[in-house]
Amino acid sequence: MVEKNTVFVSFFALAYNQNTDTQVFIKAVDSAGNITRAGFTKYLKKKRFKKDKIIIKDRFLEAKMPQFDLPDGEKAPDSLVAKFLKVNNQIRKENAARIKAITSKTEPAILWKGAFLRLANSKRMAGFADHRTYFHDGKKIDEQTHLGIDLAGYSHDKVTAANRGKVVFADKLGIYGQTVIIDHGFGLFSMYSHLSRVDVQLDQMVVKNEPIGLTGTTGMAGGDHLHFSMLIHDTFVNPVEWWDASWIKNNITSKITEIQSAMP
């Protein structure tokens, strides 16, 4: 039984590669299995993302590739570039599947409050949904999309929780290296990668700005930086929006208070 005046909350997120004509609707199923669908007013803004060129040097491959294990029984790649391509594609896909599994469960409460924090005193090195073309020896070898924001400050810089939540992952994660994922409730997650040290444990509750580890170069990182992502379940969304108090008010909190104040 649902109590009278219960507010149901759901975040709707479009992936970077979904068009603005994507169908967005609410589907509700009652306990008898009756299904109702309803549309709602929405404003989807077109966004263009940057193109970036990544030069892969032998020195980088020599330093990074030995860290990665390919699945047992698989033939060893005959060059470092061949191994890089396996890591950048196969391991990337495995990592995405792992992230999908981790973010499929979430706390049924809004654990966070106010704007999410950005790594203090850091410079943005790469943006959300940058389309990356990889070159080696002047030849194009791969293409991928960068689904986070790279922030660089000091080496081994203190990384803190962007907002309150529960640690749902604190371990190595392939190309992302040592990673922490925090569940902020209702399917909203933040992710911190390439850490040199992790200072939190699975299932630990963290408050906003609580230290969770140090930046580093673990996984597929050339220099010391934090790769920061925000997700609605397994859909990567633009962290810039969650760093912005007005965006949060206009798109999230005002919608909830509007409904609450309209209730008898």
Tokens describing residue 3: 């109590």
Mask for 187-226, x = binds Zn ion (CB under 5 A): ----------------------------------------
Tokens describing residue 229: 């992502």
CB 164 within 8 A of CB 206: yes
Considering the complex, what minimum distance in angstroms separates the CB of residue 146 from Zn ion?
Answer: 6
CB 175 within 8 A of CB 92: yes
**Other Cβ atoms closer than 10 A to 44:** 13
* H/E run at residue 170: strand 165-172
Considering the complex, what minimum distance in angstroms separates the CB of residue 92 from Zn ion?
Answer: 12
CB 215 within 8 A of CB 195: yes
For residue 206, the cross-strand partners are 165
The closest of 179, 185, 196, 54 to 125, measured between CA atoms, is 54
Q: Which residues contact 41 (CB under 8 A, 6 or more apart)?
A: none
Torsion sign (Cα): 144, 147, 148, 149 = positive
* 64 near Zn ion, rule: CB under 5 A: no
Using CB under 5 A, which of the segments 30-38, 85-93, 145-153, 252-260 binds Zn ion?
145-153
Considering the complex, what minimum distance in angstroms separates the CB of residue 219 from Zn ion?
Answer: 9
Nearest residue (CB) to Zn ion, 150 versus 157: 150
Using CB under 5 A, which of the segments 112-120, 146-154, 163-171, 255-263 binds Zn ion?
146-154
Task: Please list every residue from 148 through 177 that binds Zn ion, using CB under 5 A.
Answer: 148, 150
Number of residues that bind Zn ion (CB under 5 A): 3
Q: Which of 227, 237, 238, 242 binds Zn ion (CB under 5 A)?
A: 227
Considering the complex, what minimum distance in angstroms separates the CB of residue 250 from Zn ion?
Answer: 28
Nearest residue (CB) to Zn ion, 86 versus 227: 227
Considering the complex, what minimum distance in angstroms separates the CB of residue 149 from Zn ion?
Answer: 7
Query: Interface residues with Zn ion (CB under 5 A)?
Result: 148, 150, 227
